[in-house]
Amino acid sequence: MAVHQRLAVIVVGMHRSGTSAVAGTAVRLGLAPPRGMLPPSRDNPAGYYEPVAVGLLNDLLLKEMGFTWYNCLSLDPDRVREAASPNAFDLTAAIVRAEFADAPAFVIKDPRLCLTLPVWLPALRAAGAAVAVLLVIRHPLEVMRSLFERDRLPWDAMALLWLHHMLEAERITRSLPRAVIAYEDLLLDWRGCMMRAGQTAGIAWPEEADRHRPDIDAFLNQSFRHHVAAHTPAAVGPRSVRGLIDMAWSALRELRNDPGAVFPREWLDQARMTFAARRDIGA
């Protein structure tokens, strides 16, 4: 077995779920950021911590298959790698080299990795990096409100997108060292949240948390969280899939509390099978 000298921490989760906040906190705890980051915007004034090149290639990979991140309900991430062009490995490997050079520990984040991660794993491993995952979850109603404000997508479509992205992200990261982080937990107690996540996913943060407390406190200013949902059952989306959305949300929260729990993964598998049978006919 090869001995890895590097660590790639993948931050993944649905758009508007708090992945930028988690990635930015990880950078402040010592992980190298990408060199070519997407700049802050009105929608995300604290910054995205997302490599522009990764997002562009992910969009291209989806486009080659006839999808976009917002039109992807019939996409099976297991097909992405086999459907990718023959030079996909060369492209992903080149981006990893350009963005992270020889950094011993770095963070790579893009919500589209919920769908395209299988294409990136070979390049990360070829770069000598072990992989750990921070799977970020946020109440689907909060995500939908934030997405509507940004993209004005149809309400029911946003619920289906949340379900598809989160079910697939959980499945394709299940075999990797992983911690599930709730966005609300990060804002309430970022130190405890990130220390637990590090222990669970096998991430040794290069920097001491207390040394960077003022910086991280300022970065995670809760005024940036404009949408807050009561943590009641997640009864959102088309009536035919509301139960699946609530099942998935409940199971993900259970995995946050107990990463090794069996029943939540069984619930997620059941939700995925049921959703797969419905999504092609509009749920």
Instruction: Measure the CA–CA gap between 14 and 249, rounded to whole angstroms.
Output: 12
When the pLDDT of each residue in the chain is averaged and rounded to a whole number, the result is: 90
- Give the Å distances, CA to CA, from 235 to 4, 80, 231, 282: 44, 31, 11, 18
- pLDDT, position 146: 87
Query: How far apart, in whole angstroms, are the C-alpha atoms of residue 12 and residue 111?
Result: 6
pLDDT at position 228, please? Answer: 57
CA distance 156 to 203: 37
**Where in the chain are the domains?**
6-226
Transcribe 7-57 into DSSP letters: EEEEEE-STTSSHHHHHHHHHHTTPBPPSSBPPP-SS-TT----BHHHHHH
- What digits encode the pLDDT tens for the residues 23-62? 999 999 999 999 999 888 887 888 899 999 999 999 999 9
Q: Would you give the DSSP letter of residue 281?
A: T
155, 148 in Cβ contact below 8 A? yes
Does 6-226 carry CATH code 3.40.50.300? yes
pLDDT digit string (tens) for 165-178?
A: 999 999 999 999 99
Residue 264 has pLDDT above 70, yes or no: yes
Could you tell me the pTM of the whole model?
0.93
